[in-house]
């Protein structure tokens, strides 16, 4: 790691002055004032990192003062009691001189915290964990914080009435749906898309359970006492709301390969046969969306089917979660699955800079549904977009829907129409260049609506404020 930089030597001053500015050799027999050597040491003080990143919709989400590079989650799930024991290691870099820093954590009992191996003071305030190391951390220095905790994780209500956010339990089964702020229900985290990181997910569960998570399975180890440890590596940058940990009676299914991407699924055994039929079009979807957006951005992809009628799907990175209700749709689920797959490029690889920019996730994925149909013998995207004209609830501006309408109809449908309006204004060549460059230029990071407008204008060679102002911000829905 190198020097921590927590203690800064102010300098060592030794002065010997002679005639004419030159040093003379001292006569040891002469009485002379002794040369004085002075050493001063300044202890770095630093400031407390901010308890939120100032998101316009969720200002308390995330934290300031550091950037996380990697999370190592070591979780033990006691399925019969619904208890989770966790040891999370946060590898980060200070972005200011830090006297203390915050992590988002909801509802769990913190047992110990260390920073660079030394015990650290900590205190809880609602969903914040404030960590005070024994010495301040200098800006630019790497540090490692380990939080040991336990409890019965509970989801929280925020951002949508469709579901509660975070760790979900259904009998002995557990899984995660966290958009926008549920990751903090099961690990300490900088819970905002602007601080992406890589992940190691080690989950120990009863031997009759199977664990699925983001990334690729690296090992499955029997650890005794009827428990098995599963380790997944997710090396690509990932926003915290996209982390997935699922534990249950699953069948891990090899789905082959398409567009150079290994496909692997995790199906609850009660729905496995139906699920295999429902996801049959997945290879074709990968091929088509790769043609549109460019190479798939991660190491693998698949679908997680849980034993619950969720009423929604969520694009957790590399492993989209759906419920039994979507499985029951069979091939009619294709638009939903195409939507969630498209999110791997738009939403996951390129995440919203703020939650106000949510249309960059949902409008894009909706338009991808229409493009997939257009390229596989269905209706054109233009026809699909025009069928939306006059739908209710589209007067909400998708570029600023408000926190209560984060998943409102306008964000999806009018957001998709915005892209069709752009396509018709600038033409197919420029439009599809915009889509590919959007992913190429912002992959592994975040981007805003202003970034998208700027890119569109650059590629098109024309000013487009009038188009985006009407489609994203007018309080009366335009029509194609």
**Residues 307-332 pLDDT 10s:** 999 999 999 999 999 999 999 999 99
pLDDT at 159: 62
Q: What is the arrangement of strands in the sheet containing 166-170, beginning at the earlier edge strand?
A: 166-170, 173-177, 245-248, 210-213
- What CA–CA distance (Å, rounded) separates 395 from 415? 12
Kindly list the distances between the CA atom of residue 194 and the CA atoms of 158, 168, 448, in Å, as whole numbers in the listed order: 19, 25, 11
How do residues 401-419 score in pLDDT, each as one tens digit?
Answer: 999 999 999 999 999 999 9
- What CA–CA distance (Å, rounded) separates 452 from 23? 66
Residues 91-109: what's their mean pLDDT? 97
Which tops the pLDDT comparison, 42 or 391? 391
- What CA–CA distance (Å, rounded) separates 404 from 58? 11
Cβ proximity of 58 and 355 under 8 Å = yes
**Identical fold, 47-248 and 350-473:** no
Per-residue tokens: 466: 């009038």
Contacts of 38 (CB under 8 A, 6+ apart): 12, 13
Cβ proximity of 416 and 342 under 8 Å = no
Per-residue tokens: 80: 């019969």
Determine if the peptide bond prior to 183 is cis (ω within 30°): no
Cβ proximity of 363 and 472 under 8 Å = no
Paired with 337 in beta bridges are none
Burial class (CB in 10 A: 0-12, 13-18, 19+), 312: middle
**Cα torsion through 441, 442, 448, 449, rounded to 10:** 40
pTM of the predicted structure, to 2 decimals: 0.90
Of 199, 218, 226, 220, residue with least CA distance to 77:
226
Cβ proximity of 87 and 201 under 8 Å = no
Residues 286-306: what's their mean pLDDT? 98
How do residues 212-270 score in pLDDT, each as one tens digit?
Answer: 999 999 999 999 999 999 999 999 999 999 999 999 999 999 999 999 999 999 999 99
Percent of the chain whose predicted confidence (pLDDT) is above 90: 88
Contacts of 29 (CB under 8 A, 6+ apart): none
Pairing state between β 245-248 and 166-170: unpaired
- What CA–CA distance (Å, rounded) separates 104 from 245? 18
pLDDT at 443: 98
pLDDT at 126: 86
pLDDT at 173: 95
- The answer as to CATH 3.40.190.10 being correct for domain 350-473 is no
Is the model's pLDDT at 25 over the cut of 90? Answer: no
Which segments within 17-164 are labelled E, that is strand? 38-43, 47-48, 66-78, 83-94, 98-104, 109-115, 118-119, 121-125, 128-132, 142-151
Chain-centroid distance of CA 186 in Å reads 14
Is the model's pLDDT at 143 over the cut of 50? Answer: yes
Paired with 189 in beta bridges are 104
Per-residue tokens: 275: 């699920």
pLDDT at 163: 80
Helices (H) and strands (E) in the chain, counts: 10, 24
Is the model's pLDDT at 41 over the cut of 80? Answer: no
Which tops the pLDDT comparison, 433 or 161? 433
Contacts of 238 (CB under 8 A, 6+ apart): 196, 197, 198, 199, 214, 317, 348
pLDDT at 4: 35
- What CA–CA distance (Å, rounded) separates 297 from 452? 19
Mean pLDDT over the full length of the chain: 92
How do residues 347-370 score in pLDDT, each as one tens digit?
Answer: 999 999 999 999 999 999 999 999
Kindly list the distances between the CA atom of residue 147 and the CA atoms of 71, 137, 229, 250, 271, in Å, as whole numbers in the listed order: 11, 18, 20, 30, 37
- What CA–CA distance (Å, rounded) separates 423 from 417? 10
Is the model's pLDDT at 38 over the cut of 90? Answer: no
Torsion angles phi and psi, residue 252, rounded to 5: -85, 125
pLDDT at 42: 62
Domain residue limits, the chain = 7-43, 47-248, 350-473
- What CA–CA distance (Å, rounded) separates 192 from 66? 13
- What CA–CA distance (Å, rounded) separates 4 from 233? 28
* Coil, strand or helix at 355: helix
Which single residue is written with the structure tokens 């990181």? 197
Is the model's pLDDT at 1 over the cut of 70? Answer: no
Fold type of domain 47-248: Immunoglobulin-like (2.60.40)
Crossing angle between the packed helical segments 428-442 and 282-293, to the nearest 10 degrees: 100
Contacts of 427 (CB under 8 A, 6+ apart): none
- What CA–CA distance (Å, rounded) separates 277 from 300? 20
Q: How many CA atoms lie within 13 A of 344 on its CB side?
A: 29
How do residues 420-462 score in pLDDT, each as one tens digit?
Answer: 999 999 999 999 999 999 999 999 999 999 999 999 999 999 9
- What CA–CA distance (Å, rounded) separates 342 from 363? 11
Pairing state between β 47-48 and 98-104: parallel
Of 97, 113, 116, residue with least CA distance to 105:
113
């Amino acid at each position: 790691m190198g020097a921590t930089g927590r203690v800064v030597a102010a300098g060592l001053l030794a002065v010997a002055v002679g005639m004419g500015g030159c040093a003379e050799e001292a006569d040891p027999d002469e009485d002379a004032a002794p040369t004085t050597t002075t050493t001063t040491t300044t202890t770095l003080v630093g400031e407390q990192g901010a308890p939120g990143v100032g998101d316009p919709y969720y200002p308390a989400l995330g934290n300031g003062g550091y950037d996380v590079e990697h999370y190592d989650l070591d979780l033990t799930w006691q399925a019969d009691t619904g208890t989770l024991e966790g040891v999370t290691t946060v590898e980060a870099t200070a972005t200011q001189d830090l006297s203390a820093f915050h992590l988002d954590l909801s509802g769990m009992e913190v047992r110990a915290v260390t920073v660079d191996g030394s015990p650290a003071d900590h205190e809880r305030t609602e969903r914040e964990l404030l960590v005070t190391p024994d010495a301040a951390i200098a800006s630019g220095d790497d540090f490692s914080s380990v939080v040991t905790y336990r409890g019965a994780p509970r989801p929280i209500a925020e951002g949508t009435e469709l579901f509660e956010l975070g760790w979900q339990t259904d009998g002995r089964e557990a899984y995660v749906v966290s958009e926008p702020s549920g990751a903090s229900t099961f690990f300490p985290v900088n819970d905002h898309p602007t601080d992406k990181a890589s992940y190691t997910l080690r989950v120990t569960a009863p031997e009759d359970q199977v664990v699925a998570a983001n990334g690729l399975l690296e090992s499955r180890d029997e650890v005794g006492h009827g428990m098995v440890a599963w380790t997944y590596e997710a090396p690509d940058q990932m926003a915290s709301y996209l982390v997935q940990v699922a534990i249950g009676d699953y069948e891990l299914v090899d789905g082959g390969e398409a567009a150079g991407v290994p496909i692997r699924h995790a199906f609850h055994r009660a729905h496995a046969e139906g699920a295999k039929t429902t996801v049959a079009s997945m290879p074709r979807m990968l091929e088509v969306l790769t043609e549109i957006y460019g190479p798939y951005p991660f190491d693998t992809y698949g679908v997680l089917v849980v034993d619950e009628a969720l009423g929604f799907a969520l694009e957790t990175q590399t492993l989209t979660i759906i419920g039994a209700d979507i499985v029951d749709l069979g091939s009619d689920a294709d638009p939903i699955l195409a939507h969630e797959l498209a999110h791997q490029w738009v939403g996951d690889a390129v995440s919203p800079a703020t939650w106000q920019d949510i249309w960059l996730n949902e409008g894009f994925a909706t338009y991808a549904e229409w493009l997939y149909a257009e390229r596989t013998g269905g209706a054109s995207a233009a026809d699909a977009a025009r069928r939306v004209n006059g739908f209710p609830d589209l007067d909400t501006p998708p570029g600023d829907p408000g926190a209560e309408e984060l998943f409102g109809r306008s964000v999806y449908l009018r957001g998709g129409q915005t892209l069709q309006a752009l396509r018709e204004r600038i033409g197919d060549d420029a439009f599809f260049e915009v889509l590919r460059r959007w992913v190429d230029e912002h992959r592994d990071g975040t981007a805003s609506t202003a970034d998208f407008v700027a890119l569109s204008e650059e590629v098109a060679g024309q000013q487009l404020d009038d188009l985006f102002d009407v489609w994203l911000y007018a309080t009366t829905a335009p029509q194609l």
